Amino acid sequence: MNTSMKNIPPSKTVFFLFGVLFLVGLGTFLVQLGGEHPERAWHAYHINFLLWSAVAQGGLLFSMIMHLVGARWSQSMQSLAESFAAFFPISFVLFILLFLGREYLFPWLHHEHGKELWLNLPFLFSRDLIGLLLLYGLGLAYLYYALRLKLDPQQTTGPLRSFLLRGKTGSEEEAKGCKQKMTVLSVLYILAYALVLSLIGFDLVMSMDPHWFSTLFGAYAFAKAFYLGLAGLMILSSIFYLGRREESSLTSDNLHDLGKLLFAFCLVWADFFYVQLLVIWYGNISEETHYVIQRVMLSPWNRLAWGVFVVSFLIPFFILLNRRVKSKPVPMIILCAVVIVGLWLEHLLLLGPTWNHHVSSLPLGPADILIFLGFLGLMAFSVASFLRAFPEFTPERTS
């Protein structure tokens, strides 16, 4: 890919907008933290940490899968997918800060639940910290070799580029070595992705109700993360396609192919959602069914459950059945934004009832929306900063 340093993707206005979103979200979090219900601030923080970390984890996974299978159609999108790794260090810090809200997040903290050997805070945070460190370390190592492969050794402006290009000659043998290392790291990341996201799902979602369990929940967690990652990548790809159609190597066929993959994982997510519910329902074991009954049959959560099903599955399913819509960037941006919002509400559905007992209305207000937008601004700012620092990762036409 032959690119030019003059093609700096995001403008200062865009950075300003993302910064404003982040500051609004941060301000809302701090105000609510000092108010009468600080637990609401930590609940929103927890949900958004899980959501946006999954977008980044699933987004990078796309690049690795495409690299392993040698998919040529996705080459323009792989670089954009790799930009999601810029959120990894932020996600790691956000997880550490989650410890500060432990009193508000883990209902079992001061109660006997019979699983103290596994569910105790020092062990829980230690294993999740090690898991995320492993996952993000593999992801950033993959990104390092992707950067060495794509950056021009003649353009070493700045200390970061100098570090990344140190010793690079630009030879074919060196490029082959980078690709081989990326292949090994891809395999390791995929294995770590399945294990670590399963662990995070068990520890930070399922454990909130310590007496409920599902053996499918881990697979559900990492399939959902890939669905989120594809939605985020579709939004990013569509924005670049709209803004730089003449210069970009992205085509409507690329969007269509990614749309088909998004449609497939829409079905996978819904299948895991349904199968998990079906097995629990027909098993009719009290410690399992109460979890489903509370979320599917009791007010106000039953309305949210139907809303999540409609927004995250039915709407994208019927829209993506249309062949043409997958190639249209504006409808796909709107649809994928709807999917991300739907899965944000799905996190609330899973976690909300354990935090909010005997509520008559959904614990969802303007502050929750503003904190969501703050996390969105933080994610967008990290991705835009990466693409600005490394314009080689923007999809340009080959000259």
Contact 350, 304 (CB under 8 A): no
**Considering the entire predicted model, what is its pTM?**
0.93
pLDDT in tens, 120-142: 999 999 999 999 999 999 999 99
What local confidence, expressed as pLDDT, does residue 211 receive? 86
Cα(174)–Cα(150) distance, rounded to whole angstroms?
12
Flag whether pLDDT at 156 surpasses 80.
no
**Tens digits of residue pLDDT in 225-276:** 999 999 999 999 999 898 876 666 788 899 999 999 999 999 999 998 888 8
Three-class SS state of 393: helix
Peptide linkage before 300 cis (omega within 30 of 0): yes
HSE, side-chain direction, 13 A CA sphere, residue 205: 23
**What whole-number distance in Å separates Cα of residue 243 and Cα of residue 113?**
54
Task: Quote the mean pLDDT of the chain.
Answer: 90
The string of pLDDT tens digits covering residues 12-21 is 888 999 999 9
Per DSSP, what are the bridge partners of residue 248? 396
How many angstroms separate the most distant Cα atoms in the chain?
Answer: 66
Q: Which helix (H) or strand (E) holds 6?
A: none
- Flag whether pLDDT at 6 surpasses 60: no
Contact 243, 215 (CB under 8 A): no
| Structural tokens at position 301 | 């959560």
Measured distance CA(11)–CA(8) in Å, rounded: 8
Burial classification of residue 288, based on how many CB atoms lie within 10 Å of its CB (0-12 exposed, 13-18 middle, 19 or more buried): middle
